[in-house]
Amino acid sequence: METMSPFDSLDAVIISASRAFCTPLAIFIQIQGCFICLTLAFGWACAAYVRNREIRQMKNSMRGGNSFAFLSHDINDLEHSTQVKLPSVTVVMPLKGFGEHNLHNWRSQITSLYGGPLEFLFVVESTEDPAYHAVNRLLADYKDDVDAKIIVAGLSTTCSQKIHNQLIGVDRMHKDTKYVLFLDDDVRLHPGSIGALTAEMEKNPEIFIQTGYPLDLPSGSLGSYCIYEYHMPCSMGFATGGKTFFLWGGCMMANDFRNDRHGVVSKLQDGGYSDDMTLAAIAGAHKRLITSPPVAVFPHPLASDLSFSRYWNYLRKQTFVLESYATKVNWIMNRALFSFHCYLSWGFVAPYLMAVVHVAAALRVRSKGYSLEDTNFTSCGLLLASCLAMCTFIELLSMWNLTRIEVRLCNLLSPEAPPLSLATYNWCLVFIAMLVDNFLYPISAFRSHFSQSINWSGIRYHLKDGKISKIDRSKGKGPKFTDLGGKHLYGKKGAPHRASILGALSRSLAHWRQAKKFDA
């Protein structure tokens, strides 16, 4: 009796799988995958339109003789008589650790060209944080140019350390401050960013919070591309040019913190883990307006040594956010988002697995000369795989176009900075990252749901009923670097050297972009 070779057995499995993937349910899954690709492409195309409209307005203003269009479309807004009437703003930056991009980011923040009273508060957990030494050196270079100070907040006990630092900053800000702007220390501001956010707040008093979103600059590793890919679908919700339902904790401007309106302070203090999700829930509950101006897109360079394990921990933090909630309605919304995102993630990946099987089956059928019946079903499989390939190309093209436009917009908004380039993006890695990130998201989400704990920058938080119930600190035993920026969490490795050339250039830039201090 003739035995079947291992290769023939594999052929049979592949052909059977390809035939099974041509059933009505499997065809629906594959068509659904194409629909997801085209939906993402359409969303990115709409976002690109909004960003590109801003570019056209800036260029029209420049052609009209406004060389400072990166600050304001109307050059009359830059007149001294207008600038002296600008409201006071305090920028609060909760810090943790020190990494390769921090000095550049901090300089872009404190050398803003905002013409009104401007105060900067760098808030750290303790003097042992490497950021403390780095900021002290930086502020020594700029002490005569900006109103900035470093604040030691102490350890958080009822909320996340980031929220604790933010609220300490609110408590210490100048008494005349009208708006507070919360910034992550990995945000790279444009010279006119604070002015643009403030102008929108002044124009529409109904705004509860203004926000923006980062443009990730991958460092070349797969982990960095996974983070870029993770953020890109979210970016379309921030590129509305106005009203949005989303909020990014890396950039939030508000004026309701001093009086605790709607309980914004008390709800964050009472077991708050995520600043943006908590405030978005408050905005939804009280029908308050969140907006995102089209210029609020910020370069976000990722660490050059960003490993896959650090990406995984970042993804865990993002899915863990859905386990925290402030109200019952917030819990329901988080559960719905949890289910919807998990379904779409695996609904995106499954068609590619099926397409690989279809292609493999077609190759085996052609090479072995199998029956006409086998050829017929492989034709169906190849048709589905071809449709998916075409939809994927459209999706990647739309993602490329949005990234291209956002790079151009960032270059226009920061004419003094080294220009960003799209040439550094590896689109093969982007495609791989799309599959990896969407495959891992449901796994991370379920792990977060069942563990109810997460390690964030060396601190382990435990949740109970959606709020932080326990905080564990084990210095030196957890991760030694932050996830995205690769910042040192311990020791004094962050203390920067007094580089004379760079220091001189920075001070010269500060004199050119001098921020107006509060009047004593």
* Residue ranges covered by each domain of the chain: 71-312
Q: Quick one: tokens of 79? A: 């007149």
The pLDDT score that the predictor gives to residue 230 is: 95
E strand residue ranges, 380-517 = 453-456, 459-464, 467-473
CB burial of 456-495 (b: ≥16 within 10 Å; e: otherwise) equals bbbbebebeebbbeebeeeeeebeebbbbbbbbbbeeebe
Cβ neighbours of residue 275 closer than 8 Å, sequence gap 6 or more: 160, 162, 163, 166, 182, 249, 252, 268
Please count the other Cβ atoms lying within 10 Å of the Cβ belonging to residue 367: 9
The pLDDT score that the predictor gives to residue 376 is: 66
Q: Which segments in the chain show pLDDT lower than 70?
A: 1-8, 368-377, 475-520
* Amino acid in position 160: S
Which CATH class for the 71-312 domain? alpha beta
